[in-house]
């Protein structure tokens, strides 16, 4: 079985694959500092809680945008799962060509999403990831990463509201009954959710216009992507497991070169 690990700015998301089928997925916070032993015990416990025997994990792949957790996390994988993890980094085979001036600036998470979207849905495809930041990445029909747009994520915007204003409370991010809000909480929810919908639709339209890709497919992922997907007809697919699937595909492309499998 393969363990895929996506280390984001807010959460670490794990996916367990039995062949091409995902058998389990779970998360832990990435901002909490942990030792390798703490990571190892948490991972084995979460695997067990999901009915997975940690001894059946014979491959691990990690993509991370948080360098500070990597030493402890990789040490935990080696010690507790007896696997040398494959790391998504420059030089790894992805099948995606970076056609931007500075390829090393593109985050591992965005490359992984691009691989998942292009392999599953073809190109041209615009990948939207509603995470800590909201990203929009364009991959053309030849599998080239052409351009990327980065905007504050919904949670990031919400946090700015309640942390930088004295009287606005912390709220649940959800679509209110109406945009015509008549109380503080629903007015914040309306601004956040409808604002994100408007931004999303405008950026999709502008990318389609400037690229000339009238047949461009639009695929969304990320924790809050489902909320936006349900409110617009400009997103074709919401694929919750896109990043984990991209990691699985990259592992398959490189596993013969990886010496860490059991």
The tokens describing 180, both together, are 């015509």
The tokens describing 50, both together, are 């999901």
Q: What is the rounded distance in angstroms from the CA atom of residue 260 to the CA atom of residue 84?
A: 4
Contacts of 147 (CB under 8 A, 6+ apart): 100, 137, 138, 207, 211
Please report which residue ranges of the chain form alpha helices under DSSP H: 36-49, 70-81, 108-121, 154-164, 184-211, 225-229, 242-254
The tokens describing 113, both together, are 């999403």
Pair 16, 52: CB distance under 8 Å = yes
- Assign 3-class secondary structure to 107-134: CHHHHHHHHHHHHHHCCCEEEEEECCEE
Q: What is the rounded distance in angstroms from the CA atom of residue 125 to the CA atom of residue 118?
A: 7
Residue from 6, 18, 49, 109 carrying the catalytic annotation: 109
Q: What angle do CA 17, 46, 87 make, to 5 degrees?
A: 50
Distances (CA, A) of 19 to 30, 88, 240: 27, 20, 19
Q: Does the annotation mark 236 as catalytic? A: no
The tokens describing 40, both together, are 């190892």
Give me the active site residues, please.
Answer: 109
């Amino acid at each position: 079985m393969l363990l895929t690990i996506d280390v984001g700015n807010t959460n670490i998301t794990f996916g367990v694959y039995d062949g091409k089928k995902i058998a389990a997925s779970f998360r832990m916070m990435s901002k909490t500092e942990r030792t390798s032993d703490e990571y190892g015990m948490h991972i084995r416990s979460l695997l067990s809680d999901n009915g997975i025997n940690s001894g059946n994990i014979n491959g691990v792949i990690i993509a991370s945008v948080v360098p500070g957790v990597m030493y402890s996390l990789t040490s935990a994988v080696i010690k507790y799962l007896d696997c040398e993890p494959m790391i998504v980094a420059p030089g790894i085979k992805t099948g995606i060509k970076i056609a931007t001036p500075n390829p090393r600036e593109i985050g591992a998470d965005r490359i992984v999403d691009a691989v998942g979207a292009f392999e599953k849905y073809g190109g041209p495809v615009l990948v939207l990831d509603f995470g800590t930041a909201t990203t929009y990445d364009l991959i053309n029909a030849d599998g080239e990463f052409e351009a990327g747009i980065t905007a504050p994520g919904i949670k990031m915007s919400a946090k700015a509201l309640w942390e930088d204003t004295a009287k606005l409370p912390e709220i649940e991010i959800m679509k209110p009954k109406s945009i015509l809000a008549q109380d503080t909480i629903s007015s914040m929810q309306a601004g956040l959710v409808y604002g994100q919908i408007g931004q999303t639709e405008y950026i999709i339209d502008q990318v389609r216009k400037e690229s000339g890709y009238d047949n461009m497919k639009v695929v969304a992922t990320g924790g809050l992507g489902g909320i936006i997907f349900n409110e617009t007809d400009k997103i074709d697919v919401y694929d919750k497991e896109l990043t984990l699937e991209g990691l699985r595909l990259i592992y398959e492309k490189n596993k013969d070169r990886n010496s860490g499998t059991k």
